Amino acid sequence: MQLRNDSSRYGWLSVSLHWVMLALLVAVYASMELREFYPKGSATREAMKTWHYMLGLCVLALATGRLAIHFAGPVPAISPAPPKWQAQGAKLMKVVLYVFMLGMPVLGWLLLSAKGTAIPFFGLQLPALLTENKDLAETVKEVHETGATIGYFLVGLHAAAALYHHYLVRDDTLRRMLPKRHAR
* pLDDT over 60 at 183, yes or no: no
Distance from C-alpha of 39 to C-alpha of 18, rounded to nearest angstrom: 34
Percent of the chain residues past pLDDT 70, beyond the cut: 97
**What is the pLDDT averaged over residues 46-66?**
97
CATH number of 12-177: 1.20.950
What residues contact residue 65 under an 8 Å CB cut-off, 6+ apart?
A: 17
- In the chain, what are the domain boundaries? 12-177
* pLDDT over 70 at 184, yes or no: no
Distance from C-alpha of 88 to C-alpha of 91, rounded to nearest angstrom: 5
Distances (CA, A) of 81 to 96, 134, 160: 22, 51, 19
What residues contact residue 129 under an 8 Å CB cut-off, 6+ apart?
A: 109, 110, 113
Q: How confident is the model at residue 8 (pLDDT cuts 50, 70, 90)?
A: confident
Helix (H, G, I), strand (E, B) or coil at 76: coil
The pLDDT value given to residue 180: 77
Sign of the C-alpha dihedral, residues 82, 84, 85, 87? positive
